[in-house]
Amino acid sequence: MKYGDGTLRGVFYYAGALIAALAIDGCATLGGGQSSAVLRAKNEVAPALVHIRPVKEVFTSGQREEVLIVGSGFIISPDGYVVTNEHVAGESRFVKCVLGDKNEVAAEVVGVDPYTDIALLKLDVGRPLPYVRLGDSDRIEAGELVMALGSPHGLARSVSLGIISVTDRYLEESQMGAEPYHNWIQTDAAINPGNSGGPLVNLRGEVIGVNAKVLRGAENVGFAIPINVARDVITQFKAHKRVRRAWLGLALQEMLATTDDPTQRGVVIADVDPLGPAEEAGVRPGDVLAAINDKPVHARFAEDLPALRQMMATLPIGESAHLTLQRGSETVAVTVVAEERSALKGEQVEFGEWGFTATDLTPAIARRAGLDARQGVLVSGTQPGSIARNAGLNNGDIILEMDNEPVTDLAGFREGYRARVEARRPLTLLFVKRGALTRFVLVEQDRELLPATPLEAITETE
Amino acid sequence: MTHNRLNSGTPPRVLCLLLCAALLIPAWHTAAQSFTQEALAELHAQVTPAIGIVRYALEVTNPNTGEITKRDNLALALIVSPDGLVMTHGHMVLENSQPFNIKVFLGRGDEEQEYEATLLKKPDDVNVVFLRLKSEERLRLPHVRFARGATLALGQPVALFGLLGDPLDYARGLIERRIGAILDKPRTTCCLDDAVRYGYVGGPVADAAGRVVGVIGFDLSRAEGGDLYVRSGHPLVYQTDLFQRYIDNPPSETEIETSGDHAWLGVFTQPLTDRFAEYWELPANGGLIISTVVAGSPATEAGLRAGDIIVEFDGTPIRAKLDRDVPGFTKLVREAGPGREVVVRVLRDGQPVDVTTVLGTRPRSAQEAGEYEAPQFGLTVRELTTDVRIALNLPENIEGVIVRRVKSGSVAQIARMRPGVVILRFGGHLVTNLADFQAAVEQVTADRPQEVVVFGRLGAATGFFRLEPRWDEP
């Protein structure tokens, strides 16, 4: 169950209290020692700071477009690995990086991970590059001075100063509603659009976080991904270009969701995915998970959940894991075989002749749509005035059949689509799912889409 | 000098204008029979005593979340019989909104009279609503008499009578309009040439002969295709023949229109357009393609399936080709009578197949759903009706009750419950329907535990809420 609004509201009130506290204390000024420490730390990181300009593929209103955006990043090794956000470098066609010496070089995207919003790039310039030192984000404290470096609103090489406001902010609504694998570092160092992917640096000149988001409408409430989270992801990217996570098909809730009794230990199973391995093993919502492979687990507060999810994600894929469950007064032991978690986002494709875009169904979308198995493709947009729009195809429709043949995935649909476009087949019948209902959609490829006729022309032909 | 010159220059022009006027006005006058000022004043005096105001509260249900909002509303009320039958516009009763606490105000100033009113069953085929004033004495009210058989022609001027707004203390006003268009589908319908203010909707329409020939309507009824015109800004004139029979024989009294008397097949359909017919190589005779068969409906039991094309229902040919033809079929089924055995002829793979089915009773809608309030938790829930299941895409096997309201500051709100959550368990008790929920609440209230754990579903996911009841509160 998502409580996004509540969480964000909580953050908002917290920010309000923080601002009030600062106002009472008056404006803080840095002593001479601190000021030179800030300068030293900045000088250590600044040469490795990267201004990133990716050209991204964006799908809007049934059309694929290429858009130039601006972000930030930092070099982590002399051989040119660069860390940034997935929302900066993901779905990009080309990525250009402007280095500390203002030279621009092309970068290769090594890996992107929407679950943590981390991406890894590789620069190849044939010479060793300056790089940052990574700190330990498990050893940070609220109140510590930090700097955010990056390109706010595209203004490269900008530095802002603040403190760590909270070390472990839990934001339930992460990307696309997936349950988060980490807490966030909250800071009041100014972070703006364009700072994304830039480093959050402590006074020792170590990178402790990757700046990634801000609370809109608030002042100086920014969030960074802890560098230890990024470090794990980077290791996986270097090993196999993607992050492999184990998936049991469980959603967790903190113990407080069902009891205020602090002696109760474990974590509440809030939801069991009907297509997941845990369902098959007989796990039920309301069970309390007490141990995984005999190792006790406990999450009294929501902030304790991401670490548990991360622990479950590292279970060996394809191997058995033993779960100890508390079901009422009974202790139940079950064995589950962890599957690999599927991609958070489906591939997106434009079908230009008919004027719409579609994407593969992710398991989350399939479940929301009430489909028992992976089938169909999801319409993600239709162009005004297009053949698809004329036929009555809607954004959000799931195409289940084309000319009575089941549509299983995007690749298969694409093939059938191509054949029909090339053969100029006049009529194609789609069977789509729209919410709880189904509907037939007739695509009329032979219907000419005329440009609007001026009134004069109509009069003349009479 | 200037003055003089101007004077000397004007006579020929004035003469010319007068001449034109002399030639034109009588001709125009006879052709279009416009209103004289005296005629308008006379009509106003005759008609406006029958115009009152209906004030009511409206409960509007959001079809997607089930959330209910309430608001106050008012509209023009037209007295159509001396004994207290009142006609008003049909938007008072819509699919997801239900009026209550209805009061009609007649007369003005010190003579204003307030009446409670009962809502009568809304007619299917015209978008008006009738009310019956409650009174212990026999009423003898000023009322409007409609002329029968009068037809309106394109370009004909009409006088409209209605209410001016609150700042003008709802003075009864008049305006003149023309018939700007006559539509021939789905039935002959006159449109005005320009918009009118809300206060005129439901008000009487008079022709230049001084006859009251109809009322201003918002829109067509649902059976006729619903809100085809509401967004065009051109109000419609409902002519007398459309509604007079309801004045002669008023509809029965009903609190809420119940679906219990309506038959149900359980299919969603779309029209067989000529292009669909071409695709399936069928004759272009129209029909209804079954697009969805509702689970657990008579249609499912009879073996009807998506893709079947209905061409005949209980002996009546179905020739739907356009979207607006669909409501006619819905009406046909609804009025066929629950429990009746009917034969539905469908085309399946191009071949006619006769399917015999016993019509069911239309399932209750969200509006008619039973509701239960548990004030100790600040929760109001409703039973899960078929329409809500469809709106929320809830599978058949999910049984529970749906949260409609969460009181601000309540125990439920603190636990982050919100409208739309489907409650599956309450305090350890399984909840499959409203009675279960009520029993669970009563049991929990008797036990007075410190915490009540609620298991619910929102969207496709499930989760828990922990309520901490404030038992000591009165």
CA distance linking residue A436 with residue A417, whole number of Å: 25
The answer, for A400 touching chain B at a CB cutoff of 8 Å, is no
Q: Does A259 sit within 8 Å of B453, measured CB to CB?
A: yes
Q: Does B393 sit within 8 Å of A440, measured CB to CB?
A: no
The fold of A348-444 is Pdz3 Domain (2.30.42)
With bands split at pLDDT 50, 70 and 90, how would you rate the model's confidence at B226? low
Q: Which residue has the higher pLDDT, B265 or B109?
A: B265
Q: Does B465 sit within 8 Å of A1, measured CB to CB?
A: yes
Q: Does A442 sit within 8 Å of B273, measured CB to CB?
A: yes
Looking up tokens 């320009």 gives B194
| Cα separations in angstroms, B319 against A414, B151, B313, B326 | 36, 30, 11, 10
B141 in Cβ contact with B122 (< 8 Å) = no
For the segment A208-235, what is each residue's pLDDT rounded down to a tens digit? 999 999 998 899 999 999 999 999 999 9
List the 417-446 stretch of B: residues with Cβ below 8 A of A.
425
The fold of B259-361 is Pdz3 Domain (2.30.42)
Average pLDDT value for chain B = 85
* Three-class SS state of B201: coil
Q: Which residue has the higher pLDDT, B98 or B240?
A: B240
A11 in Cβ contact with A184 (< 8 Å) = no
For residue B259, pLDDT over 70 is answered with: no
Name A82's bridge partners: A75, A121
CA distance linking residue B359 with residue B263, whole number of Å: 6
A287 in Cβ contact with A252 (< 8 Å) = no
Average pLDDT value for chain A = 88
**B186: cis peptide before it, omega within 30°?**
yes
DSSP annotation string for B235-274: -EEEEHHHHHHHHHSPPPB-SS--GGGSEE--EEEEE--H
Phi, psi for B183 (deg, rounded to 5): -90, 145
The answer, for A318 touching chain B at a CB cutoff of 8 Å, is no
Q: Which residues of A are catalytic?
A: 87, 117, 196
Looking up tokens 């990086």 gives A97
The answer, for B456 touching chain A at a CB cutoff of 8 Å, is yes
The answer, for A368 touching chain B at a CB cutoff of 8 Å, is yes
Buried b (16+ CB within 10 A) or exposed e, B333-348: bbebebeeebebbbbe
The answer, for B198 touching chain A at a CB cutoff of 8 Å, is no
What number of helices (H) and strands (E) belong to chain A?
Answer: 10, 29
The answer, for B282 touching chain A at a CB cutoff of 8 Å, is no
Model pLDDT, residue A129? 96
The alpha-carbon gap from A384 to the nearest alpha carbon of chain B, in Å, equals 20
Least confident of A13-17, B254-258, B362-366: A13-17
Model pLDDT, residue A27? 46
B267 in Cβ contact with B297 (< 8 Å) = yes
For A251, residues 6+ apart whose C-beta sits below 8 A from its C-beta are A179, A269, A270, A271, A272, A273, B461, B462, B463
Q: What residue in B sits closest to A404 (Cα-Cα)?
A: B307
The answer, for A437 touching chain B at a CB cutoff of 8 Å, is yes
For the segment A154-183, what is each residue's pLDDT rounded down to a tens digit? 999 999 999 999 999 998 764 445 688 999
For the segment B288-341, what is each residue's pLDDT rounded down to a tens digit? 999 999 988 999 999 999 999 999 999 999 999 988 788 789 889 988 889 999
Q: What residue in B sits closest to A5 (Cα-Cα)?
A: B416
CA distance linking residue A199 with residue A46, whole number of Å: 10
Other C-beta atoms lying within 10 Å of the C-beta of residue A369: 19
Q: Which residue has the higher pLDDT, B363 or B5?
A: B363
Which of B289, B350, B278 lies closest to A426, judged by CA? Answer: B278
Top-level class of domain A1-7+30-243: mainly beta
Which whole number is the average pLDDT over B271-290?
A: 95
DSSP state of B253: B
CA angle, residues B420, B425, B428, in degrees to nearest 5: 150
Domain boundaries, chain A: 1-7+30-243, 246-340, 348-444
Identity of the residue numbered B364: R
Other C-beta atoms lying within 10 Å of the C-beta of residue A180: 20
What is the percent of chain B with per-residue pLDDT over 90, rounded to a whole number?
A: 53
B427 in Cβ contact with B444 (< 8 Å) = yes
Model pLDDT, residue B48? 93
For residue A144, pLDDT over 70 is answered with: yes
The gap between the terminal CA atoms of chain A, to the nearest Å, is: 64
Name A97's bridge partners: A52, A105
Q: Between β-strands A49-60 and A71-75, what pairing exists: parallel, antiparallel or unpaired? A: antiparallel
Model pLDDT, residue B8? 37
* CATH number attached to the domain at B366-467: 2.30.42.60
Q: Between β-strands B263-264 and B267-271, what pairing exists: parallel, antiparallel or unpaired? A: unpaired
Least confident of A320-334, A347-361, B91-105: B91-105
In CATH, the architecture of B35-258 is Beta Barrel (2.40)
CA distance linking residue A165 with residue B115, whole number of Å: 63
B242 in Cβ contact with B218 (< 8 Å) = no
Model pLDDT, residue B5? 38
The answer, for B10 touching chain A at a CB cutoff of 8 Å, is no
Model pLDDT, residue B269? 95
The answer, for B464 touching chain A at a CB cutoff of 8 Å, is yes
Model pLDDT, residue B65? 57
* CB-CB neighbors (< 8 A) of A439 in chain B: 268, 270, 291-292
With bands split at pLDDT 50, 70 and 90, how would you rate the model's confidence at B200? very high
Model pLDDT, residue A212? 95
A236 in Cβ contact with A242 (< 8 Å) = yes
The gap between the terminal CA atoms of chain B, to the nearest Å, is: 91
DSSP annotation string for B107-143: S-GGG-EEEEEEEBPPPSSSSEEEEEE--SSPP----
Which whole number is the average pLDDT over A389-415?
A: 94
Which whole number is the average pLDDT over A93-118?
A: 94
Which two three-digit tokens encode residue B308? 């079947």
For residue A419, pLDDT over 80 is answered with: yes
Q: Does A429 sit within 8 Å of B464, measured CB to CB?
A: no
For an interface test with B, which of A1, A401, A430, A444 has the most B Cβ atoms less than 10 Å from its Cβ?
A: A1
The answer, for A46 touching chain B at a CB cutoff of 8 Å, is no
Q: What residue in A sits closest to B271 (Cα-Cα)?
A: A440
Q: Does A429 sit within 8 Å of B279, measured CB to CB?
A: yes
Buried b (16+ CB within 10 A) or exposed e, A261-298: eeebbbbbbbbbbebbbbbebebebbbbbbbbeeeebe
With bands split at pLDDT 50, 70 and 90, how would you rate the model's confidence at A373? low
Which whole number is the average pLDDT over B363-370?
A: 81
Q: Between β-strands A427-434 and A437-444, what pairing exists: parallel, antiparallel or unpaired? A: antiparallel
Which whole number is the average pLDDT over A102-129?
A: 95
Which of B199, B179, B221, B184 lies closest to B91, judged by CA? Answer: B221
For residue B227, pLDDT over 60 is answered with: no
Identity of the residue numbered B190: C
CATH number for A246-340 (one of 2.30.42.10, 3.40.190.10, 3.90.228.20, 3.90.550.10): it is 2.30.42.10
Buried b (16+ CB within 10 A) or exposed e, B257-283: bebeebbbbbbbbbbbbebbbebbebe
Looking up tokens 């996570």 gives A245
Phi, psi for A298 (deg, rounded to 5): -155, 135
B268 in Cβ contact with B307 (< 8 Å) = no
* CB-CB neighbors (< 8 A) of A305 in chain B: none
Which whole number is the average pLDDT over B8-12?
A: 40
CA distance linking residue A84 with residue A87, whole number of Å: 9
Chains A and B form CB pairs within 8 A to the count of 92
Model pLDDT, residue B230? 57
Domain boundaries, chain B: 2-32, 35-258, 259-361, 366-467
**Topology match between the domains B35-258 and B366-467:** no
For residue B416, pLDDT over 50 is answered with: yes
CA distance linking residue B322 with residue B329, whole number of Å: 12
Q: Does B453 sit within 8 Å of A271, measured CB to CB?
A: no
B374 in Cβ contact with B396 (< 8 Å) = no
Out of B395, B451, B461, name the one closest to residue A370 (CB): B395
Least confident of A97-101, A418-422, B231-235, B392-396: B231-235
Q: Does A435 sit within 8 Å of B460, measured CB to CB?
A: no
**Topology match between the domains A1-7+30-243 and A246-340:** no
Least confident of A63-67, B31-35, B72-76, B398-402: B31-35
Q: Determine the length of chain A.
A: 462
* CB-CB neighbors (< 8 A) of A249 in chain B: none
The answer, for A328 touching chain B at a CB cutoff of 8 Å, is no
Model pLDDT, residue B194? 87
Name A374's bridge partners: none
Out of A258, A437, A440, name the one closest to residue B466 (CB): A258
The alpha-carbon gap from B240 to the nearest alpha carbon of chain A, in Å, equals 38
* CB-CB neighbors (< 8 A) of B451 in chain A: 258-260
For an interface test with A, which of B466, B467, B468 has the most A Cβ atoms less than 10 Å from its Cβ?
A: B466
The answer, for A176 touching chain B at a CB cutoff of 8 Å, is no
The alpha-carbon gap from B335 to the nearest alpha carbon of chain A, in Å, equals 24
| Ordered alpha helix ranges (H), B274-422 | 274-279, 298-301, 326-334, 386-392, 411-414
Identity of the residue numbered A363: P
For residue A32, pLDDT over 80 is answered with: no
